[in-house]
Structures are given as C-alpha cells and as structure tokens.
C-alpha cells in the first residue's frame, strides 16, 4: 500500500443491468470527488482492486467497474449467452452513463490504464460535460497502427515468440498466412470458435504472445495461464483490436471536446508494446494536458504508479480550490 493513503475497502457493490441480458459489476469506496477507474485489456477486469490505492479515499469516492463481459460482469465473453457483437466501445460508454445515473454522479474524474486510457478518452469525447479531469497511465488510443505494432511489428524484437504466435494461426485452418493478412483478425476468428478446446488453444497462444512482450521495463512478471480470466481477455482483445476499437473517427481525430479538461498522461520510455509516440500525440492534441515520461519503465512500473497517485492528489487539490473552474 502507498504510504499515507488509507487501506482499500469496498463499501458498496452491485450488478447493473445494461440490457441485452448483460450485467456490469461495479464497486465503490471512499467519499469526496467521484472518480471512475477503467481497467485495461480489453477484458483484464478489476482484479484484486489495487487501483483503489492510487486515490486518497478521504478525498475521492472511487468507483470501479468490470467492463461488459469480463471480471464479475455477466455473462463472460465466450459464454454462448454473451452478446459479443453488441460488445463495442459505444456500448461500453453507454454502460458507464447508465452507471453514472444509477449512482447519482453529476460528473467524475476519469482514470484509465492501457486500454482503459482509450476508453476514458472516448468517454470524455462523447460526454465532456461529465468529466472533471483525467489521469491516464500507459496511454493508448487503439488505432490500427498501434494494433499492428503490438501484434506484428514488435515481433522484430521477439522473433522466436512471434514465430510461434504466427505459426499457430497459420496451422489453425482459418486461411491466415504471415504477410498476407492481419494476424489479429485470424485470432479474432479463432476465438469465436464454439469448440471449447479450439477456443482454449487459441487463447493460450494469444496470451503467450502477450506475456512475451508486455513485461519489459514494467517491474512485474506475468504468471501462468489463467483458465478463467485469460480466455475472456483474449476474446475481448482480439474482438476490439480487429475492429479498430469500434471508434470512427479514431480518438486522435476528435480531440477538441477535451479542451479545458485537465489531464495527466503517464508513460514509460521502455514501453515497447505501446511506444511513447502515442502519449506524445495525445498530449500535443490536448492543450493543457501534462505528459510525464518515466525513462526507466515500460508498460507500468513503480515509478509510474507513484506518478499516477501523485497526479490524482494534484487533481484533487485543483478541483477543490474555491476558484476551481470545473
């Protein structure tokens, strides 16, 4: 736990009906400025709730959600009852609006990590009047160039792992050949298989590639394949990435609504999975935003997490001043 901050404790939680037979899990703790945390993936879920420690719960009412189809939300992606075709970024944004109204929140601070940064930016662009400020770590916009980088180009740094990743898709009978199609589209097709064994094998191949490249400079080591979380995550990642995150225009093509919203962008120089150029472009397109580049870390790490915590504290100071404009 970060020194000086109170221990995490969920005070309320529930399942919110978001339509089409889908329910979204939410939880909250603390009091003060409403703050919404958006996890990565897509499909990573809230996990053990460590995100709460990035906030002073005497100043923030911290709200977290397991996005549609993952974590404790029901039914999970891959389940026949899950509406995967209806799982899109506009639907996630609509889910968050339903939750905001359900919880009686007028406007909130957004926090997002990795994919959660994309979702936070997309939500803010759709509903800028509901956003008090934004803090993002491991910044993504999930545009096609970023997806092609993380699924193919960065294979130049991990050729052995990428060869196994591509060979699995080539041998899976979906018509994929390296250099002749997008590997993310091949895996998206494989992860829609109704055959549990085929789905599991594709999820294992996908997550093995994720683990190969994501850890550099992050100060963490990914554990073994999780048979509950990882198939859901692989299904949702490939679903979103093969559809350009269901964002048209993309995030960087509509930054004007963020004008006047305070924001902090935190990124690692060593993030080979998501190079810092994305955070730089978001920063350059968002007047008034602050960019913090941690030179010694990658897609996360203790220095970045500390910067995240400090950014929320500074934002609380700014928003609770008597003369605060928002």
Catalytic residues: 114, 271, 299
Contact 89, 119 (CB under 8 A): yes
- What is the distance of C-alpha 104 from the center of its chain? 24
The owner of tokens 């699995």 is: 168
> If DSSP codes are grouped into helix, strand and coil, which group holds residue 289?
coil
Tokens for 145? 């160039």
Measured CA distances, 284 to 158, 210, 255, 289 (Å): 31, 29, 10, 8
The owner of tokens 């920063």 is: 283
Crossing angle of helices 196-214 and 229-241, in 10° steps, is 80
Task: Tell me the CB-side half-sphere exposure of residue 237, using CA atoms within 13 A.
Answer: 26
Query: What gap in Å lies between CA 119 and CA 124, rounded to an integer?
Result: 8
Number of neighbours of residue 245 by Cβ within 10 angstroms: 24
Query: What gap in Å lies between CA 279 and CA 294, rounded to an integer?
Result: 12
Contact 286, 181 (CB under 8 A): no
């Amino acid at each position: 736990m970060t020194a000086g901050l109170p221990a995490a404790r969920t005070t309320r939680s529930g399942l919110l009906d978001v339509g089409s037979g889908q329910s979204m899990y939410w939880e909250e703790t603390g009091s003060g400025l409403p703050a919404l945390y958006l996890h990565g993936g897509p499909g990573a879920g809230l996990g053990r709730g460590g995100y709460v420690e990035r906030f002073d719960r005497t100043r923030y009412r911290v709200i977290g959600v397991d996005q549609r189809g993952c974590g404790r939300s029901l039914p999970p992606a891959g389940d026949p009852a899950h509406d995967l075709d209806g799982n899109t970024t506009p639907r996630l944004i609509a889910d968050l609006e339903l939750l905001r109204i359900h919880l009686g929140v007028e406007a909130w601070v957004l926090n997002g990590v990795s994919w959660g940064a994309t979702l936070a930016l997309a939500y803010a662009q759709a509903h800028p009047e509901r956003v008090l400020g934004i803090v993002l770590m491991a910044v993504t916009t999930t545009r096609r160039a970023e997806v092609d980088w993380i699924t193919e180009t960065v294979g130049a740094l991990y050729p052995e792992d990428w060869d196994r990743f591509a060979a699995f898709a080539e041998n899976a009978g979906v018509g994929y050949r390296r250099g002749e199609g997008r590997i993310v589209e091949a895996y998206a097709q494989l992860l829609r298989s109704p055959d549990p064994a085929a789905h599991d094998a594709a999820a294992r191949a996908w997550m093995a590639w994720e683990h190969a490249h994501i850890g550099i400079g992050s100060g963490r080591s990914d554990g073994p394949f999780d048979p509950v979380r990882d198939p859901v995550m692989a299904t949702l990642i490939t679903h979103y990435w093969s559809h350009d995150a269901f964002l048209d225009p993309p995030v960087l093509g509509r930054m004007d609504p963020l004008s006047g919203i305070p924001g902090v962008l935190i990124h690692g120089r060593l993030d080979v999975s998501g190079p810092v150029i994305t955070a730089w472009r978001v920063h350059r397109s968002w007047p008034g935003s602050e960019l913090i580049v941690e030179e010694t870390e990658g897609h996360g790490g203790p220095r970045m997490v500390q910067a995240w915590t400090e950014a929320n504290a500074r934002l609380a100071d700014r928003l609770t001043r008597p003369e605060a404009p928002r």
